[in-house]
Amino acid sequence: MPAPNRRERLRRQMSKDIRAVAREVITQQGVEALTLAEIARRIGVTPAALYRHFDDLADIVRHTARDIVAELAAQLRAAVAAEDETDLAARMITPSRVFRQWSLANRQEFSLLFGTPTAAAGTAQKDLTGEWIRELAAVWGPEFVRLWATRPYPVLPDDQLDPRLRVQIADYRAATGVELPLGALVVMLSCWRSMYGQIALEVFDHFAPLITDQEPMFELLMQELATRMGLGAEYRPPRATA
Q: How many domains does the chain have?
A: 1
Cα dihedral 61/79/81/143 (nearest 10): -80
Q: Specify the pLDDT at position 78.
A: 98
Q: Report whether pLDDT(105) > 90.
A: yes
The C-alpha atoms of residue 188 and residue 209 are separated, in whole angstroms, by 32
- 63 assigned to some structural domain: no
Assign residue 134 the CATH number of its domain.
1.10.357.10
- 35 assigned to some structural domain: no
pTM for this entry: 0.90
- 88 assigned to some structural domain: yes
- 20 assigned to some structural domain: no
Q: Are 87 and 151 in contact (CB under 8 A)?
A: no
Cα dihedral 25/27/31/32 (nearest 10): -70
Read off the pLDDT of residues 12-35 as tens digits, 9 standing for 90 and up.
Answer: 899 999 999 999 999 999 888 999
Boundaries of domain holding 205: 84-234
The helix, strand and coil proportions of the chain, stated in percent and rounded to the nearest 5, come to 75, 0, 25
Task: Calculate the average pLDDT of the chain.
Answer: 91
Q: Specify the pLDDT at position 242.
A: 43
Q: Specify the pLDDT at position 48.
A: 92
* Residue 128: pLDDT band with limits 50, 70, 90: confident
Q: For the chain, first and last CA: distance in Å?
A: 62
